Structure 1
């Protein structure tokens, strides 16, 4: 526990020296990890599958990719984990990988035991935990030759979904559509996207990697020993949270104070119930299947931390974040977090601002940047200044396939699960007016302001004025009842925020214009 005491007892202004002295890997350790990696990689490339049939076929290693802290450039001086991802010719799809991975892992284990002497290292296979799920990896430990430390290695057979990879590579949306529709559990096929995960972290500035090392050190030495049997979040989740805090807190600057960054991450962990973060570097909202999936993920119980390389992998799900927050609170009371002026540190909200496109009939749409945890009444004040409203604002939104919903002034966008770009309609109403939603055959709804005493024909005229069908071509229904023109909304018991269905009458021959007579 000496390292723990050193971290918690180190003054905040001395943290950079602590990282350089105690956490950055020394030359001998880096060389040892590098040598072990090269020998293991050579074994898998040249020996593992040579002269053997697996699954009744010859298996070729398409490429070997190094992940984990060693691949990302965040190795600690006393610890290294290496993810060795084998992209194999026997997997031609995600489904192939799921079907045959168990057999491949069993074969690799047998061959590794047979040829362990050729690796010039002492290797210990780590027993697999009892589970009904097919294992994703084979884990073993490599004993370092110059120190008492061990190098942990996870071998993960994977389908080569990305193919050729380069630093500016962005997968086609069809790859993610295939991933989402493959039917695998969340994050099941993340190894196929290791190159993206690795590049996302490895491309970070050197100083940010030092902050990543410090947060990982805190995880390994302060948090994990206390809760060995608890379902703690993976280290990758803390890496992503740290990168997010840096992006928001410094606007991606490589000139920052390490102590302010460390404190900001600890403070962010206290707000875990509000965390909802994602990136659009490798996937975005353009493809319909991907968009629907991401939006659904963002509605899950928080914290939500979406893997920037794999939208099915929510790293915040079903973990003991309460224990993490408890240790973070303790850390904030230690010398390492006593910055000179905490109020001048990073200000990191638990979710990015949302781009809100506000539409009002007859006006140009306006875009607002809104904190999803800020009360909606604050957004209404901005909208009022922009549009110059005199009456009451009624804001509503509609998810694809859902019903239009009214946004309450006392709630937040987060309350409605809105964490990505959204279109909102604003309606101005005056005393006694109500708002009704009119839904067309496409499922889209529009809001209309109308008095309860007005007739159904009055509503039809408003629909026509807003660009809808002619009054004569409209059939309106409410609760499966057809609405007659002369009846008032109050007579029909239509109340505020009720939804009325619009059906376009098709009684004219195609191509014949309607002749309207005016008197």
Structure 2
């Protein structure tokens, strides 16, 4: 918080100096971070992704674009999160991007794991983070100072084409966007060059103002206490900034108790609905600014996370294999909540789940919610004569 105090005690005439000395990263440090990221960019541009997961063609990266603070020139000192948008040859429309987005994430993930240059940079935590849109997130280290960098890769359709800088997109691009009818923000990476250039070519004064606003925004948040619940383990108490990414919260959990599987965090809203907490989001994104309780669940592929809503309105998270029997989840519920298997009735989208059926038969996917109810007693006492 020292920097925050310095900011409030800095007269307007010295704000430029404050930005240069306290907020603007050194050229050497920034170059060290970007040098490691170039290894990722070079791999993506030079390697061909072999078509699998429903893709019947080879996939090439047409272009990579650094976006966010590193892309537009407003990065803060000490920030080590770099986002890359990759435009791919297999996306020839917004509809194709929506159809093949998950398949491409799997292809890129597999390719990164085979790159010796990245492995030598300490490649870790390679996971698909849910968001708008979903992205591939991993960490590497710089070569000299061994700073840990978080890299986010977002595949996108090159809707603007190889247009000249500062040129206006053809109106048909926006017509196609409207007709795509997807969730708001799903295709925003397709327009990342417009977003980046809007800031990148602005005067230094404006960039300094943006750095000041970012710094103030990050520093004004008061730390809160988060209680992490995990079945079979004691509660873990963490002090976190509600504006920091949940990826950093997961790192704190890993440092405190270690994790062998994929970390899944969720919390129960006042309405009783349980929400998945995306690694790229923060607690503030979900309106959490005070002490709260969140649930930690570890899954190991092919397991997925599902939520079970109880008769009392509460909910719990469970790990299941889509190819396992419904009865296996009922056993988990009995062990965790005490309700006997034979007394449980599970429903998904109005359909009652049968004990000896597989979850995949019902189309149940990651983070879906099942409804738990207690069966009515069908045993009637004998009538006395």
Per the alignment, residue 467 of structure 1 pairs with: none
Task: Write the mapping of 1:127-138 to structure 2, written as runs, cut at 5 A.
Answer: 127-128=127-128, 136-138=134-136
CA drift of 1:112 comes to: 1.0
Inter-CA distance 74–59: structure 2 relative to 1 (3 Å threshold): same
Aligned equivalents of 1:321, 1:12: Cα separation in 2: 33
CA drift of 1:60 comes to: 1.5
User: Given that residues 22 and 77 in structure 1 are in contact (C-alpha distance below 8 angstroms), is that contact kept between their aligned partners in structure 2?
Assistant: yes
Whether 1:92 and 2:89 are equivalent positions in the alignment is no
Per the alignment, residue 7 of structure 1 pairs with: 7
User: Given that residues 137 and 157 in structure 1 are in contact (C-alpha distance below 8 angstroms), is that contact kept between their aligned partners in structure 2?
Assistant: yes
User: Given that residues 142 and 151 in structure 1 are in contact (C-alpha distance below 8 angstroms), is that contact kept between their aligned partners in structure 2?
Assistant: yes
Aligned equivalents of 1:214, 1:134: Cα separation in 2: 27
Per the alignment, residue 177 of structure 1 pairs with: 175
Task: Write the mapping of 1:250-261 to structure 2, written as runs, cut at 5 A.
Answer: none
Per the alignment, residue 59 of structure 1 pairs with: 59
User: Given that residues 35 and 142 in structure 2 are in contact (C-alpha distance below 8 angstroms), is that contact kept between their aligned partners in structure 1?
Assistant: no
Inter-CA distance 225–206: structure 2 relative to 1 (3 Å threshold): farther
Aligned equivalents of 1:190, 1:21: Cα separation in 2: 34
Per the alignment, residue 83 of structure 1 pairs with: 83
Aligned equivalents of 2:117, 2:166: Cα separation in 1: 40
Aligned equivalents of 1:188, 1:224: Cα separation in 2: 31
CA drift of 1:38 comes to: 1.7
CA drift of 1:225 comes to: 4.9
Count of residue pairs brought into register by the alignment: 235
CA drift of 1:39 comes to: 1.3
CA drift of 1:230 comes to: 5.4
Name which of 190, 193, 206 aligns with 1:192.
Answer: 190
User: Given that residues 48 and 58 in structure 2 are in contact (C-alpha distance below 8 angstroms), is that contact kept between their aligned partners in structure 1?
Assistant: no
Aligned equivalents of 1:218, 1:48: Cα separation in 2: 43
CA drift of 1:153 comes to: 1.5
Cα deviation per residue 1:10-66 (whole Å; 9 max; x = unaligned)?
A: 3444322111101112021121122122211101011252xx233121112111111
User: Given that residues 80 and 152 in structure 1 are in contact (C-alpha distance below 8 angstroms), is that contact kept between their aligned partners in structure 2?
Assistant: yes
User: Given that residues 116 and 123 in structure 1 are in contact (C-alpha distance below 8 angstroms), is that contact kept between their aligned partners in structure 2?
Assistant: no
Aligned equivalents of 2:166, 2:21: Cα separation in 1: 34
Cα deviation per residue 1:250-284 (whole Å; 9 max; x = unaligned)?
A: xxxxxxxxxxxxxxxxxxxxxxxxxxxxxxxxxxx
Per the alignment, residue 205 of structure 1 pairs with: 203
Per the alignment, residue 262 of structure 1 pairs with: none
Name which of 148, 152, 155 aligns with 1:154.
Answer: 152
Inter-CA distance 118–153: structure 2 relative to 1 (3 Å threshold): closer
Aligned equivalents of 1:21, 1:119: Cα separation in 2: 35
Cα deviation per residue 1:84-126 (whole Å; 9 max; x = unaligned)?
A: 1111111111111111111110121122122154564222225
Inter-CA distance 103–188: structure 2 relative to 1 (3 Å threshold): same
User: Given that residues 140 and 152 in structure 1 are in contact (C-alpha distance below 8 angstroms), is that contact kept between their aligned partners in structure 2?
Assistant: yes
CA drift of 1:145 comes to: 3.6
Inter-CA distance 103–225: structure 2 relative to 1 (3 Å threshold): farther
Per the alignment, residue 229 of structure 2 pairs with: none
User: Given that residues 69 and 80 in structure 1 are in contact (C-alpha distance below 8 angstroms), is that contact kept between their aligned partners in structure 2?
Assistant: no
Inter-CA distance 145–2: structure 2 relative to 1 (3 Å threshold): farther
Per the alignment, residue 26 of structure 1 pairs with: 26
User: Given that residues 43 and 119 in structure 1 are in contact (C-alpha distance below 8 angstroms), is that contact kept between their aligned partners in structure 2?
Assistant: no
Question: For 2:40, what is the secondary structure of its paired residue?
Answer: helix
Question: For 1:122, what is the secondary structure of its paired residue?
Answer: coil
Per the alignment, residue 162 of structure 2 pairs with: 164
Per the alignment, residue 293 of structure 1 pairs with: none
Inter-CA distance 122–9: structure 2 relative to 1 (3 Å threshold): farther
User: Given that residues 70 and 82 in structure 1 are in contact (C-alpha distance below 8 angstroms), is that contact kept between their aligned partners in structure 2?
Assistant: yes
Whether 1:38 and 2:46 are equivalent positions in the alignment is no
CA drift of 1:128 comes to: 4.5
Return structure 1 stretches of 4+ with deviation > 6 angstroms: 320-323
User: Higher Cα Rg: structure 1 or 2?
Assistant: 1
Per the normalisation by structure 2, the TM-score is 0.55
Aligned equivalents of 1:184, 1:224: Cα separation in 2: 36
User: Given that residues 161 and 192 in structure 1 are in contact (C-alpha distance below 8 angstroms), is that contact kept between their aligned partners in structure 2?
Assistant: yes
User: Given that residues 4 and 221 in structure 1 are in contact (C-alpha distance below 8 angstroms), is that contact kept between their aligned partners in structure 2?
Assistant: yes
Whether 1:215 and 2:213 are equivalent positions in the alignment is yes
Per the alignment, residue 349 of structure 2 pairs with: none
Inter-CA distance 198–225: structure 2 relative to 1 (3 Å threshold): farther
Per the alignment, residue 121 of structure 1 pairs with: 121
Aligned equivalents of 1:107, 1:20: Cα separation in 2: 41
CA drift of 1:73 comes to: 0.8
User: Given that residues 45 and 61 in structure 1 are in contact (C-alpha distance below 8 angstroms), is that contact kept between their aligned partners in structure 2?
Assistant: yes
CA drift of 1:190 comes to: 0.4
Question: For 1:57, what is the secondary structure of its paired residue?
Answer: coil
User: Given that residues 105 and 137 in structure 1 are in contact (C-alpha distance below 8 angstroms), is that contact kept between their aligned partners in structure 2?
Assistant: yes
Structure with the higher fraction of residues in strand conformation: 2
Question: For 2:183, what is the secondary structure of its paired residue?
Answer: coil
Question: For 1:38, what is the secondary structure of its paired residue?
Answer: helix
